[in-house]
Structure 1
Amino acid sequence: MNLSSEQGSDLSMLGLQRQLRDDAISTALNSHGYFFLKEWQPETSTFELACSIGSVVDLEKIAAAYKLANVQALKPRESDESSPHSYSSVYGLKGFPLHTDYAHWGTPPRFLMLRCQAGDPSVITYLLPSSCIADHAGQIIDRAIVVPRRKHPAQTICPLAVRYRKAGRTGFRWDSLFLRPLNQAAEALADVVQARSNLDQIAITMHDPGDTLIIDNWHMLHGRSEVPHRVLNRHIERIYLSNLRGLK
């Protein structure tokens, strides 16, 4: 393919812009565990944007039995309007406690991206670095064992370590709704999580189309504030990624 000097310059600039973007994302995630950007390409679809920065987790394939979409629409719902075994079915419009997504999986997804389609500044996304928990948990964090709550009596469940290692990296799982403590260390850790939630959590508001939050799901817990009835049109899209360009 032959390119004019002007076309080549445009492509070089585009490549530089993408490199700078990828560097900014990886630097933020390495330093803080999350990356937030206001009104990031609101005209671009969530799936297209995710594919441009990393590898999308194909939930439609690996969790076909659960009929999970690769891009999930998160909309406030009353508890009696929600699907069973979901946060909305338990908490409705109330706040969601801090947790990591798919914590009951052997290896949870590494990253999740939340992207605002319609938001409101009164609804807050809360973040809590697992390092804040580890700094106050001593050795109990490595002894803590949890187990998924049974959805039915015949369900087979396997104990899970709260802190795990995968591909040379350490991860942290936590979900007070779908996981229950299996030993005293996990029960003690629950008290630490609650205490640090009140002291160290970070508040993010997503209210403009394109507002985008990328979270390291192995190192950061997240939750949501209460949703007022006047903002039931809130719409956040969620997608998971196994890796991000430029992040080692």
Structure 2
Amino acid sequence: MTLEIRDGLRKVGYIFFSSHRPKDSIVEIAERFGKPLVPWENGLIQTLVPRTKAAPNSYSGIYGLDRFPFHSDLAHWRTPPRYLLLRCITGFADVPTLMIDGHDLIDAVSLDVLGRAIFKPRRPREGSVSLLRLCEPVDDVVRVRWDEVFLKPASRIGEVANLRVREWLSICTPIALSLAETHDTLLIDNWRMLHARSPILAGRETRAIERVYLEALH
């Protein structure tokens, strides 16, 4: 199974499992795939639900029920989580998860520009501000990071990259994949794929998706 997962992620950057292992919890599934990551205290599982009011420094606080922008999760961390696992509790076919392949982004903007673009987190983290590259080689892959809310350009080439990435994202065609049925499960390579939540339509406010991060596969 792990070899198939690795091959699938290498080919397209994500794997969808329809109504996957209904008797298992998301933690049990995460542990079957790899090593779960606790990003903050008591934060192993996050339940994502639409909110009209939330902390002002969160996506829900900024965008409410509107579409979230494309991003990689925790892109402002020096080492973002390697994978994210999403599992449907309550889903709807007309509220898909949108994805963009970072390889296509590299082809569109160029590895030279993205590799030299320096960004910094919008706010200090743990008392310091890290300078981060949008693209950088890590082991045998090129890690892509992007978040127009929590990352800001910190160099001239960063300003150029910021404009080019935003322009390309505004015209590209994303992959739309719906976590519609209970236990539908989606594993995403967070170092490759950018993702976004589509708008929450009227009557879809009960949508609930569980999320667990993985730092590695078995």
* Structure 1 unmatched runs, 5+: 1-20
2:32 equivalent in structure 1: 52
1:168 Cα deviation from its structure 2 partner? 4.6
In 1, Cα distance between the equivalents of 2:202 and 2:23? 28
Identity %: 35
1:45-194 matches, within 5 Å, as 45-59=25-39, 63-64=40-41, 69-78=43-52, 81-138=53-110, 139-150=112-123, 156-194=128-166
In the alignment, is residue 230 of structure 1 matched against residue 212 of structure 2? no
How many residues of Structure 1 are paired with residues of Structure 2 in the alignment?
Answer: 216
The letter for the 1-side match of 2:37 is V
1:151 Cα deviation from its structure 2 partner? 6.8
After superposition, give the CA deviation of every residue in 1:107-159 in whole Å (9 maximum; x if it has no partner).
Answer: 1110001110100111121111111111122221111111111279x953121
In the alignment, is residue 207 of structure 1 matched against residue 180 of structure 2? yes
In 1, Cα distance between the equivalents of 2:148 and 2:90? 28
Q: Which has the larger radius of gyration?
A: 1
1:41 Cα deviation from its structure 2 partner? 1.3
TM-score normalised by structure 1 residue count? 0.81
**Which of the pair is proportionally richer in helix?**
1
Match for 2:4 among 13, 19, 24? Answer: 24
* Structure 2 unmatched runs, 5+: none
Indicate how the Cα distance of structure 1 residues 227 and 91 shifts in structure 2: closer, same or farther if over 3 A, else same. same
SS of the aligned residue for 1:96 comes to: coil
The letter for the 1-side match of 2:49 is K
1:50 Cα deviation from its structure 2 partner? 0.6
1:33 equivalent in structure 2: 13
Runs of 4+ that moved beyond 4 A: none
